[in-house]
Structure formats: structure tokens, C-alpha cells
Amino acid sequence: MSNKAVYTAVAERPTTFDDIRKAAERIAPYVHRTPVLTSSSLDERFGGQLFFKCENFQRIGAFKARGATNAVFSLDEERAGAGVATHSSGNHGAALALAASLRGIRSWIVVPTDAPVVKSESVRRLGANFVSCEPGLANREAALEKVLADTGAEMVHPYNDWRVIAGQGTAAMELLEDQPELDLLMTPVGGGGLLSGCAVAAKAMRRGIEVIGCEPAGADDAQRSFRSGELQAMPNPRTVADGLRGALGTRTFAVIRTLVDDIVTVSEDEIIAAMRLVWERLKIVIEPSCAVPVAALLSGAVRLDGRKAGIVLTGGNVDLDNLPWR
């Protein structure tokens, strides 16, 4: 059986909450259980209680460590021996490189030339085979197909992979273990791995919880897909939130259309203002993609109305020489 056939056979069973629990056990020795921060001033400003799950403190500085680690450590010895490969604008690539290093196997990461330098350097530093490509999803996928053909490596897609989705869902599982009375869960959405995994966990753990995905207006394929009921293309995303430029996948969309309550969009100015607000009030570094749910509160696209809301702060890998408000 070919490597691609093996991947398809493994990947076609949708993620369940039991998969997320097993993923949590599998990745526990290798990732951090990140803290949950609060801010009375932000609670007062937005009219509710906010609980920030700080994945910017995760290994490699992003939640992506969860899904990549689950995928790598769920491989049997034969498939792991061929190594792993992916395409990524940075965080997933670094996460897969780290997970492969922890397991002692090879990795190949296809990175577009417009990826933030801080993220590209992280991939290189972690010892992956670095493969550069031109920007754009089609170019990334074509370069990855060549790597897979040349190496026989196991593909670990950045988001459209049930193993990755299960790993990302552990962030919501931990948050709801710490704060079991949440009324609302908000995450950014790009490719949808985090949102879909968190939706599976949240709906299983908290009856009646509302799950909302938040994305840039300049990369709004998730909202258009959600509204139309059909997967929509995003050929030329334009947003400072580089981690959200990916398009929804078939698997992530299948979960989102079933379990997510709404998807809202925000402007670039709102993202930048929200990013700065979090830096100032929480005294932590987050990247633009992280700020999108906070931007939804700033814009009024989401209102708390006294509710308890969890927000996954997805990462903190920022090019400090190119801050968006400079």
C-alpha cells in the first residue's frame, strides 16, 4: 500500500472526543499545559468574564505543537521511519520539526518565501529539511507533493488531518477542565484545525456552549463557506494575520458546519488594535492571528452580555522589527 493510501485510510474516520482524550495522554510528556489568564479591566470593557488560554506560551510558541505532536507520536514504527513532511507558513512547520526531533525521525517542511522570518528561522533551528517555495497555497501543495514523491515521507497536513484536529482539540479540553462553566468559546480560524478540534471538545464537555470562529475579512473563506454550506475558495488572502491565510479543508469544514455556531470577520485595523490591547493589558506577546477573537469583541461582532467566554490565544511568534503598529 502506498504512503498516500495509508494516510487516507487513517484519516477518514472523523475525530471524536475520545480521540482528543487519547491525544491529551499521548502528547502530555512533550507539550505544556498552558496557563489561563484573566483581566478585570478587559472584563469590564467587554461586559463579561474572559479567560485567555495562553498557547503563546506553548512549545514553539503556538498551539500547533499539540496537533503535530499527536500526529507524529500516533505513527507506527514503519511509517515513522520514513519521516514526516508538511507545508506551513511557520508555526505548524516548526511544530512538526520539533515533534519529529523528539521522536528521532526526519522531517521536511515546505515554507513559502513570504513567511515571517521569525517562523522560518524556527523551522531551520529545529533541524528540519527546509524546502522553500513561492507564496500561495497551490505552490505550497505542489512543492509538498514533490517532497512526498521523492522521500516517501508521511504527510502531516497543517489542519486537514484528523490526528492534527484531535491534538488541537486538547487546548479546549484543558480550558474547560480549568473553567467548566464557560458559556462561549472563541478561536481564530484559518484552515480550521483548531476551531474544529475545539468544537468537538467543547460540545462534548459543556452542554449549551456556543462556539464561534473569528477570521480576517481579507481571508473570509470560512465565513463564506459556513454561510453557503459549500466549501469556498480563498485564492488571494490579504491579512496581517499570516497564520490565518490558509483555506478551510474538507475535514475541518465538515466539523465546523456541524458543530460551530457562527463565524465572524474583523478588519485589519481591528486586528492590530486588538493585538496592541492584549500586549498592553495582559502584558504578554501575541501575534496578529491571536488577536482576531479579541478584535471581534472590539468591533461588536461578538457581545458577551455578562457571559463567561474562553479565548484561545494561539501563538506569540512575532517579528519584533516589523510590528504592525510601527
Q: Which of 52, 50, 47 has its CA nearest to residue 304?
A: 47
Residues 28 and 170 grouped into a single domain: yes
Determine, yes or no, domain membership for 323: no
Confidence (pLDDT) at 273: 97
Q: Which of 216, 294, 189 has its CA nearest to residue 198?
A: 189
CATH of the domain at 120: 3.40.50.1100
Residues 195 and 173 grouped into a single domain: yes
Domain that includes residue 28, residue range: 17-62+162-313
Rounded CA separation 184/53 (Å): 13
Residues 223 and 127 grouped into a single domain: no
Strand ordering across the sheet containing 129-133: 129-133, 107-112, 84-87, 154-155
Phi, psi of 202 (to 5 degrees): -65, -45
Determine, yes or no, domain membership for 3: no
Residues 143 and 224 grouped into a single domain: no
Residues 229 and 112 grouped into a single domain: no
| Mean pLDDT in residue range 31-49 | 98
Determine, yes or no, domain membership for 321: no
The model's pLDDT over 140-166, given as tens digits with 9 standing for 90+, comes to 889 999 999 999 999 999 999 999 999
Q: What is the pTM of this model?
A: 0.92
Residues 176 and 85 grouped into a single domain: no
Residues 307 and 200 grouped into a single domain: yes
Exposure b/e, 170-208, CB count within 10 A at least 16 = b: bbbbbbbeebeebbbbbbbbbbbbbbbbbbbbbbbbbee
Residues 169 and 71 grouped into a single domain: no
Domain count, the chain: 2
Residues contacting residue 128 through CB under 8 Å, at least 6 positions apart = 93, 96, 97, 100, 107, 108, 109
C-alpha torsion angle, residues 201, 34, 297, 266 (rounded to 10): -80
Determine, yes or no, domain membership for 4: no
Rounded CA separation 88/304 (Å): 34
Confidence (pLDDT) at 135: 86
Taking each helix axis as running N to C, give the angle between helix 268-282 and helix 292-299, from 0 to 180 degrees, rounded to the nearest 10: 100
In angstroms, the Cα distances linking 229 to 68, 193, 219 are 28, 18, 17
Q: Which grid cell sits at 120?
A: 522560518
Residue 8 binned pLDDT confidence (cut-offs 50, 70, 90): very low
| Mean pLDDT in residue range 41-56 | 98
Residues 85 and 172 grouped into a single domain: no
Q: Is the pLDDT of residue 48 over 90?
A: yes
